[in-house]
Structure 1
């Protein structure tokens, strides 16, 4: 786990290092906007372009070149920082598993308006993306490659496992526990002290008031399980 404090952020990452974005879709363009906002605040990333295993329709994305697949990225001869811009928890985990080159690093990218101070005691794992408008209070742990989309809130003592995905305006209450791979749809709420099991999906606008098991889909207010994920043998 990388301990990242907002007061140290620009000094740590603002070195003009080359950075590429894996994911040439809409989230990739949003992450590019995030990086540009960081650069406007002094971060100094040198954004080279996009990688994706599904080539986009045009040779450029938001004015930057499409550079190839994960295999091409693994073959890079120079050190590169990589932002993995894949919204699906499972998809992001799969991409991270394919990017195995020792030349690749996965910095946390945190919007400059998000407050992460030493007194808050917030741990942020490698590869996290935290977008504009998010509020994190204190004593929070984010695992690797966690995505907090626009305007999310995370309360005290919450713990989010690797590859969790929070879509816009999600609220996670104090001391909530999200296991790895949890996906919370737009506007969902997990109330204080609730646990959500690994790889579970919570639908947009749902309110989770009771613990949810692993690998289910839950929707509604209060959230109820409507589907169990079948794990192939």
Structure 2
């Protein structure tokens, strides 16, 4: 088995631990060593049966280990991964056993794909992407690094989602659209035209808010 450290001991971190348990029930792959979290108040505690070992600096002494970042905020997740550059660690890619996807899907390192998601054909998913519960991705989508999709996001075919985009729970994007990097699209929103300028967008159809 491969030793695995989960960065982030919050709600999504606990969900990722459960995802790993589901993987192991099918194919005994990962040995969860514990959580890594910079919140000193929870160091040396036990959360959902796993220890909180320390902050990011703890990983400097973890040779031949795998790490996955379970922090939902895209920009914070990117900063955390950048802090790890130069360390002797590898990034785990975690895909729940229930995920349905074709063999023509490319998935980058450090990416997490949660239960109930469906990904069709010729889709490219970057590094350190989070695709939460019950999402759908259509044909020929490009999902760039550090994107976060919250539960029940629906992305139609031929869409390009830029780096560090966050897509809120239950939102939808119609086919053939681009969403520029560093944008946030709110829960239940519907994107019906390209988002060309970074910002926060809400509504059906989406409008940028100040």
TM-score of the aligned structures, taking structure 1 as reference length: 0.87
Spell out, residue by residue over 1:77-96, the C-alpha distance to the aligned partner (whole angstroms, 9 max, x if none). Answer: 42111111000111111111
Other-structure match for 1:94? 79
| Aligned-residue CA RMSD (Å) | 1.2
2:128 corresponds to which residue? 145
Contact persistence 1:19–1:45 (CA under 8 A): yes
Unaligned runs of 5+ in 2: none
Match of 2:109 in 1: 126
Residue 76 (str. 1) matches residue 80 (str. 2):
no
**Other-structure match for 1:63:** 49
Selected match of 1:30 from 15, 18, 22: 15
C-alpha change, 1:175 and 1:56, in structure 2 (3 Å) is farther
More strand by share: 2
Are the aligned partners of 1:55 and 1:66 in contact in 2 as well (CA < 8 Å)? no
Cα offset for 1:171? 0.4
Q: Give the equivalent residue in structure 2 for 1:185.
A: 168
Q: Which runs of 4+ in 1 moved over 6 A?
A: none
Tell me which moved more, 209-218 or 168-177: 209-218
* Corresponding pairs, count: 209
* Deviation for aligned residue 1:71: 1.2
| Distance 1:20-1:168 versus aligned 2 partners, 3 A rule | same
CA displacement at 1:60 relative to structure 2: 1.3
Which of the numbers 22, 30, 37 marks the counterpart of 1:45? Answer: 30
Q: What do the CA deviations read for 1:198-224 (whole angstroms, capped 9, x no partner)?
A: 010000000000111242100000001
